[in-house]
Amino acid sequence: MSQQLIKSESAPFIHNAGIKHVKEGETFFKAMHNHPECAEILLILEGEGTYSIDGISYKVEPQSIVIYNQGVWHEERAVSNKPHKMLYAAFSNFKVEGLPDGHLVSKNVSPIAPIENFLLIEELFKELVKESESTDFESNWVARNLVGALLGLILRNIYKRGSTKKNSNKHKIIGEVKHYIQENYHQNITLEELAKISYISPYYLSHLFKELTGITPFQYLMQYRIEVSKHLLINSNSTINQISYQVGYQSETHFQNLFKKIVGVTPGKYRE
């Protein structure tokens, strides 16, 4: 039987929803304020900043969710003169088990978190904004239920992160990414490509990979290419130029410099 955290008997009420797009060269700053009658969620699409929530400063990045419990004091400041884009929704009439009315997270849970299923949440959020602004038949009811769906997905994302099952799934994802790199290292692999085979967002994959391995996916790719080139230098008659192409580098000079930086000697010296 699935765990049920949301105890509300009806869909949340929407106070407002929309999209905020600060263009390059513009300033985005919202002084300290709160919303006594509703909670609010933000989905960061673009740009970085520093948000103060309940007296604590947090760094916000793309593809992360920001949660303001009802009544919490907060301040928003984007990186100066850089683009900043977000989707937002304020709502009330919901109850999460074990928490005060209007609260989505407890004080020991970070109100800012990377989103695992970002693309799905982004699409639902955009549809919510569209319906909340529409005058079409039953648009308000559709928008309210979309808020409910978003809350369920966000709570699932937050409260499963610390579980054993979730940790096991994290290692499975990274294992699959490593396996893909090992079989395709000679190709031009992108972070978006790795995210697609993992069914998670590029930002979350990069965050997760470094959390579990200590390095980024591209650092792993680079290290694996060097390991393959070491094997080829010892066990094949291919020239260094041929080997550089075989492991995915179009420039022999770049390969030589990278090899020496990682191994400590040039490919030619290693082969001796």
Q: CATH no. for residue 239?
A: 1.10.10.60
Mean pLDDT, range 6-10, rounded to an integer: 74
Higher pLDDT, 9 or 122: 122
pLDDT tens for residues 222-253?
999 999 999 999 998 989 999 999 999 989 99
Q: What pTM value is reported for the model?
A: 0.60
- Please state the separation of Cα 236 from the chain's center in Å: 42
Report the C-alpha gap between 255 and 271 in whole angstroms: 15
Flag whether pLDDT at 210 surpasses 60. Answer: yes
pLDDT tens for residues 69-115?
999 999 999 988 889 999 999 999 999 888 899 999 888 788 988 88
Report the C-alpha gap between 58 and 65 in whole angstroms: 12
Question: What residues contact 110, with CB distance under 8 A and at least 6 apart?
Answer: 58
Flag whether pLDDT at 165 surpasses 50. Answer: no
Question: What residues contact 191, with CB distance under 8 A and at least 6 apart?
Answer: 202, 205, 206, 217, 218
Residue 8 belongs to some domain of the structure: no
Q: What is the DSSP string of 206-229?
A: HHHHHHHHSS-HHHHHHHHHHHHH
Residue 3 belongs to some domain of the structure: no
Residues 26 and 141 in one domain: yes
Residue 3 has what pLDDT?
Answer: 59
Residue 4 belongs to some domain of the structure: no
Q: What is the CATH number of the domain that holds 110?
A: 2.60.120.280
pLDDT tens for residues 36-77?
999 999 999 999 999 999 988 888 999 899 999 999 999 999
Q: How many CB atoms lie within 10 A of CB 217?
A: 24
Residue 160 has what pLDDT?
Answer: 66
pLDDT band at 171 (very low <50, low <70, confident <90, very high): confident
Residue 100 belongs to some domain of the structure: yes
Q: Considering its fold, how many domains does the chain have in total?
A: 2
Mean pLDDT, range 142-164, rounded to an integer: 81
Residues 108 and 152 in one domain: yes
**Domain end residue (candidates: 139, 161, 183):** 161
Residues 127 and 156 in one domain: yes
pLDDT tens for residues 116-145?
788 899 999 999 999 999 999 999 999 999
**Domain boundaries, position 112:** 13-161
Flag whether pLDDT at 168 surpasses 70. Answer: no
**Domain end residue (candidates: 161, 189, 211):** 161
Residue 4 has what pLDDT?
Answer: 66
Residue 164 has what pLDDT?
Answer: 42
Residue 257 has what pLDDT?
Answer: 92
Residue 198 has what pLDDT?
Answer: 77
Residue 68 belongs to some domain of the structure: yes
Mean pLDDT of the chain: 88
Residue 155 has what pLDDT?
Answer: 86
Which residues face 14 on adjacent strands? Answer: 91
